[in-house]
């Protein structure tokens, strides 16, 4: 039994409590903060921001909005995951959002959050877990998983890439897809310019994905 099942029968119309894990600037975190504060994302509350880097600007974003934030060193994964799990229990987290998080969790940790952990991936991932992705214009491109996928898309001379929001499973970048968006690669694009355009789409995608999850969980709780 995962820890969330213990009190699930007492949940009625409580907000979706999310923890956002970051490793850098936290622009997707900011998109979530803005959506919540502007009431574009109702029934959702950021209860904790976690970073494996002490100097990550995303921590400052959290503090600027009076959100709990913590630096969690990630030298020994087993030890770090034990602390992370304790934090998730302490803050009663319903959903973990990996937004620019540059560490891989163990299968044991992931199993504690079945369909309760999502990731933003800066490439297009197919819904069937295949090694290729069919774009809206019928082109077949490789499904880029792992690290440095923005650079790899440019090096492969792809004309289209994109971003995907998916649930996290033990296999890297292979969980069920929630949503994705295509982004054209322009002549002269660098890794930096392409990444910035991908982030613009990610900001909308992550808000839409969490809205969908929050609504589906609210329906489940009401049954």
Could you list the beta-strand ranges (E) of 2-90. 16-22, 44-51, 69-71
The position carrying tokens 């913590």 is 70
Q: Which of 121, 166, 180, 203 is catalytic?
A: 121
Verify whether residue 121 is a known catalytic residue.
yes
The CA distance from 94 to 74, in Å, is 22
- The span from the CA of 122 to the CA of 107, in Å, is 22
**Tokens at residue 99, please?**
């937004």
Angle, CA 25 vertex, CA 21 and CA 29 arms, to 5°: 50
Structure tokens at 102: 């540059």
Instruction: Name the E strands within 52-131.
Output: 69-71, 95-98, 117-121
Token digits for 184? 């054209």
What are the phi and psi torsion angles at 181 (to 5°)?
-145, 140
Catalogue the active-site residues.
121
């Amino acid at each position: 039994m995962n820890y969330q099942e213990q009190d699930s029968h007492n949940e009625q119309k409580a907000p979706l409590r999310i923890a956002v894990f970051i490793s850098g600037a936290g622009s997707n975190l900011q998109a979530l903060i803005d959506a919540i504060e502007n009431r574009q994302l109702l029934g959702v509350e950021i209860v904790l921001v976690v970073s494996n880097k002490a100097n990550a600007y995303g921590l400052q974003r959290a503090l600027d909005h009076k959100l709990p934030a913590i630096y969690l060193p990630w030298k020994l994964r087993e030890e770090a995951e034990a602390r992370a799990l304790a934090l998730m229990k302490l803050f009663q987290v319903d959903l973990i959002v990996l937004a620019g998080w540059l560490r891989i969790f163990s299968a044991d940790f992931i199993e504690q959050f079945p369909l309760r952990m999502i990731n933003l991936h800066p490439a297009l991932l197919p819904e069937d877990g295949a090694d290729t992705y069919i774009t809206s214009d019928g082109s077949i491109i490789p499904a880029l998983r792992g690290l440095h996928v923005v650079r790899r898309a440019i090096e492969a001379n792809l004309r289209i890439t994109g971003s995907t929001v998916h649930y996290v499973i033990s296999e890297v970048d292979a969980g069920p897809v929630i949503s994705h968006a295509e982004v054209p690669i322009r002549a002269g694009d660098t890794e930096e310019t392409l990444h910035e355009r991908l982030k613009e789409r990610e900001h909308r995608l992550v808000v839409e994905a969490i809205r969908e999850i929050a609504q589906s969980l609210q329906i489940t709780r009401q049954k």
